[in-house]
Amino acid sequence: MRFAERVARAGARLRQAEPLMRLMSRDAFGRVQADLDRRLMVCAQFALHEQAVVQAALQGQLPWMQPAGVGAGDTFVPDAEAVVAGLPDLVDITNQTEADWSRGASALLRALADDAAAMQVDLADGVIRDIDPAMSDPHDGGRMTAVLALSDGRILVYKPRPLDMEAQFARLVRWLSDAGIGPRIDAAPVLARAEDHGWMGFVAHDPCRTQAEMEGYWQKAGGLYCLLTILQATDIHRENIVASGGCPVLVDAETLFQPRPWAMGASSPQDLLRDTMMLPPFGADTASDFSAFCSRAGDATAIRVAGPGGTDAPYRLPACQNLPHLGGRFHGAEDYPDALTDGFAWMFRDLVQHRDALSADGGPLRAFATARGRYVARGTQSYGAMLRASLSPAVLGQAGGRRAMLRDQLRETRTDRSPATFEAQELNALARMDVPRLTCRPGDPGPEGHWRAPLQEVCDRLAMLSGDDLPHWLAGMPPLTTAPRRVG
């Protein structure tokens, strides 16, 4: 059922065509090949399941049609390549997926070679001892964040996109620290950058050592929550924060200065606080919690993941890296509401006090003007639902049917955040199994004036704030004391 032969052929071609494959150990290359198999299975899973169900029915009800030596109770394993060949759109998708996989692997190796001197990496054979090649959603031709374990013991994070936002955020955090503003927070280190990719240092999930450190963690978390809210951030969910000892570290900053279309109206503190996704937006009434500071573990959401044949199962949250650990358990913001609120208030007052220096020409906020960020027109879950629906055999059996179905879905689910001007980009990305990445810059207005320059919005809002506004902002925070409890 798996694509073993196809993966082996693709791997052989890649090794022959890409001389830098020598940088990968045998184990690392095995992980990369396994990722191709996984990607192909994602494309074909529904078609393979349908074929297996049909054949099982035939075996039970029409025994004279069984292959020789197969009993009615035996499990049928479909031939993956034969199933793909019978569905025109699936042929195109799997071929595109394989081509994207090959190009992505080569791009990673060339990026490492180009940036080796800057990161002091010895390009010896097998320097990539191990790799996790699929640490993010696929964007821009199947490219995903990868974590590399090098033979010298270091761990590097490769991101196949510009790291402008991360670099500027690190500079802002240093500026705040040097000025003594708010509780001291840390930023993930940016090691090297290029136009289309960058490297970051790996941030490990380490436990807190003492109760005092845990208290300090949540005070820093409150400061970070305030800062990111003021910076009009969104998509700061459980996978974008790592609890590193006594500090929460933001490891993905591409959605800072998130544009807010004119049609959405003026942003209230409650809107901005909710849209960060750092806390469950409706407290105990939040059925599906992916937040950075209150998320749970295990079967912890109300989301059901569609499976083959109309089946579904609870969505299982990945391993918990975003919450601090002490005394044998994870601790969420609902356990430390006072510390989080204190840290938020501390950062708020200090930002208001230093707002002129922050927003001045040449100041740390203005430096974000040309940074390339990501506009979140729709949630990843929405895109994922469209992709799953587009992989049904009924859709894949019609040449061009999948693209037409995706176009209809985009139009039917259009909102103020996903205007028609982005439809072509979204469609082209989804057609090749990508989650769309729509680029924006904080200093620029939206296409056709769809939104005001977010950087100017942030600076104008900051200029109007005073310490007297703090109670209103605190009142807009989700009710921590009633946040849903974690499972496990």
Chain-centroid distance of CA 62 in Å reads 47
**Domain map (residue ranges) of the chain:** 4-159, 168-188+204-375+452-482, 380-435
Amino acid at 337: P
Q: What angle do CA 315, 229, 436 make, to 5 degrees?
A: 50
Q: Residue written as tokens 């001045």? A: 360
Reduced DSSP (H G I as helix, E B as strand, rest coil) percent helix, strand, coil of the chain, to 5: 50, 10, 40
Q: Give me the DSSP letters along 209-269.
A: SSHHHHHHHHHHHHHHHHHHHHTT----BGGGEEEETTEEEE---TTSS----GGG-PPPH
CATH node for 168-188+204-375+452-482: 1.10.1070
Tens of pLDDT along the chain (488 residues) come to 578 999 999 999 999 999 999 999 999 999 999 999 999 999 998 888 776 655 544 444 433 333 444 444 445 556 788 888 889 999 999 999 999 999 999 999 999 999 999 999 999 999 999 999 999 999 999 999 999 999 999 999 999 999 999 999 999 999 999 999 999 999 999 999 999 999 999 999 999 999 999 999 999 999 999 999 999 999 999 999 999 999 999 999 999 999 999 878 778 999 999 999 999 877 656 677 788 998 665 445 666 665 555 566 666 666 779 999 999 999 999 899 999 999 999 999 999 999 999 999 999 999 999 999 999 999 888 999 999 999 999 999 888 999 999 999 999 999 888 888 999 999 999 999 999 999 999 999 999 889 999 999 999 999 999 999 999 999 999 887 644 444 33
The pairing of strands 438-440 and 373-375 is antiparallel
Whole-model pTM: value is: 0.90
- The residue written with tokens 């964040």 in the block is 145
Q: Which residue has the tokens 């089946």?
A: 311
